[in-house]
Chains A and B, each alone.
Chain A
């Protein structure tokens, strides 16, 4: 089953000269499939991921997620239900605890999050999988870099999305932690049978994915 289909996506920036970041991107991702997008810094990996994650609209081209064409009106709902984000700089809500961060997507989706709810049990399970159950009530600002990224993985899995978008998940970590996070991410995705689009310049991490693309001159090759 196709989870994501992108056709002829184009994106340019004007800063101040026109810069064609994405020239013509077409991509199809099936359920349970993982792909890695490699490329040098500034090639547009993050822009592509933001467009695929509906955070940004392409200049042209079509994007379909879970067979639903993305429009500005349904973008946030598609993100709520189908997409989990993992960022390079973790992007946790500093004022909240680890558990609150993991449960936040469920709260945004207006799902019940009391102790007996499915969302809560799922969050606990995810925290256990990333080995942070003992840090559930710790404020996010007190966590280390590795811990924060593990919370981000647990949070991305909260609403049981079909697609995980990870933007340089190990970019801000030391080598040991980067390796651990990479393996954990791939493991989680495989166990839970999620689709994954991973933007990275780490060839080892990219090697763990089913398919690998190189983004160069605005084209996937």
Chain B
């Protein structure tokens, strides 16, 4: 196309048309900036939304089946209240699925059914319909990953025994909490479990009787810190600088380096070892028999090998390190060592021989540690970690048990098994993951409903979150065919009460920004109009020459339209390259913005620890369609003006 060739030539900056070149450069820079901004913003917000959705659907599943009023009013559900076989209590979906009898009511053993009692729904063969078991088998036929869930509420009281954290030693933390049953078949829950921190490990080692081996065998200890120095670590005939206080002559304080200043009231001397005898040389040389040697600050030692033992004091460490420039190497007992660097394992290919005392994932399923005398294991949202809670901390879940004449407070002993990331949803900070036995106990005692008013139990379906709407239709169709649809409400993550508003807010924010971006882009593209008007004026004679050679008006318009299109495409490419570069160095940008404002530019509680930095395909599509299109439209106005130039007039002006 000769139009494109000419358009390219016209856009190459030339000395004689400096003003055109400057306007052209300005247009490209402005549009590139807008493209960059749109891409970065949309990529980050899309990434945040994706992460949020991933966490939401990992915890609550993309699809849920919840019982309808029809289910709760059915004879099938109500029969348990009058049946001795059901202990006269309503059953959850999980209990219904596990029960051997669909109809627990016995004419001979149980009281007579009231008159207004719902009539049982039966199959043609007279068998009572069992909507739970039938639905489970239907979901099996559809080859879906599913599991029933139960929700309950209780008051959590946690005892904090750590001197660190916001709460002091021995303080209690109370919080009304929302309990979600632990779903071991949830294929994505493992991604939400946070590995134990160094503080968790140290805390567990200090208080975890009988768990030392399982803790150490499922962790890799890289470094430990010690304060009291094992004499065996220090080579013989080596002189160390040490401080000694006249009142405690048996205690030597060894600085980590030789330049450390002597504390007030202390004396400096030199310490060396001959066999098991320490030699203390100061102004008044003295031999110390059984010295207590401490380091001035904790000394970090690199752990090369660790031999676990049931008792912490028997754990052997093969360590290396340096003290005052002297290499240390020996095998020591754990002593007062604290872990300063370690990695813990929470994902296993197979079930580990010695299970860790924290929640973990093995072969695609999630596991809680075995219940101990300290209580039932449970998971806390990660916000509790900031409050000083550690894995292994103990507490109780308190709930009211409604009896015939009184309301009694009941307690269940619990122990923190792990922290998890609840993502961003309104109940996230108060949602505890507990074993199903706890939710059932609370349900049986008080028939509570969840704090947000959603039903206390249902079925989570893990397939998705792509094509959830299609899957929802398929499930509804299958339930309809099996005449089970009246019992269930099928909802996707878009309908969940606790996340619906946030989800809609995300969408509307993005739409609003897209509109603003479009507007800014339009304004930026208006620069192209000024540029091309200048260009048309500049090239009037050439337009006339081309027309004299047979170029049609459409061809002339196409030349200037192409100029707009080329500038739009070029700006898109430059803006995209800049956006990719920015996204790859997003931490630097966030750091700069934070430094500029004097506080964190993006709150981790809302945005996560790091901002997503993947280029959004949706944003890229928007930019690569909207920018050239708007540029083309902007180019059309001067293009039409160019096409109306009368060649005879333009040629005559020469």
* Residues of A that sit less than 8 Å from B by CB: 46-47, 50, 53, 55-56, 76-77, 79-81, 83, 85, 87, 89, 91-96, 104-105, 107-109, 155, 159
Contacts and interface: CB of A to CB of B under 8 A. Distances in A.
Nearest to B12: A95
Contacts of B122: none
B168 to A, nearest CB: 80
A105 B648 contact: no
A85 B9 contact: no
A56 B547 CA distance: 11
A93 B542 contact: yes
11 contacts: A53-B548, A56-B648, A77-B550, A80-B549, A80-B550, A89-B654, A91-B651, A92-B545, A108-B549, A108-B550, A109-B550
- Output the residue of B2, B9, B549 with the most chain A CB within 10 A: B549
Contacts of A77: 550, 552
Contacts of A159: 550
Interface in B533-579: 541-542, 544-553, 555
Contacts of B547: 55, 76, 79
B647 interface: yes
B50 interface: no
B646 interface: yes
A138 B12 CA distance: 18
A50 B550 contact: no
B599 interface: no
Question: 10 shortest A-B CB distances, which residue pairs?
Answer: A80-B550, A56-B648, A107-B2, A50-B648, A79-B550, A76-B552, A105-B549, A55-B648, A91-B545, A85-B548
- Output the residue of A46, A76, A89 with the most chain B CB within 10 A: A76
B652 interface: yes
A46 to B, nearest CB: 7
B648 A91 contact: no
B319 to A, nearest CB: 76
Given A55-B648, A56-B646, A95 B9 contact: yes
A108 B2 CA distance: 7
Nearest to B649: A56
A87 B2 CA distance: 22
A104 B551 CA distance: 10
B281 to A, nearest CB: 90
Contacts of A93: 542, 545-546
B648 A85 contact: no
A87 B651 contact: yes
B439 to A, nearest CB: 76
Nearest to A165: B548
Given A55-B647, A93-B545, A76 B551 contact: yes
B294 to A, nearest CB: 83
B648 A79 contact: no
Given A79-B548, A79-B550, 19 more contacts: A55-B651, A76-B547, A76-B553, A79-B547, A81-B550, A83-B550, A85-B548, A87-B548, A89-B654, A91-B545, A91-B548, A93-B546, A95-B10, A95-B14, A104-B546, A108-B2, A108-B546, A108-B549, A159-B550
A42 B549 CA distance: 25
A94 B43 CA distance: 45
Contacts of A83: 550
Given A55-B547, A104-B2, A108-B546, A46 B652 contact: yes
Contacts of B548: 53, 55, 79, 85, 87, 91
Nearest to B10: A95
A139 B646 CA distance: 27
Interface in B378-419: none
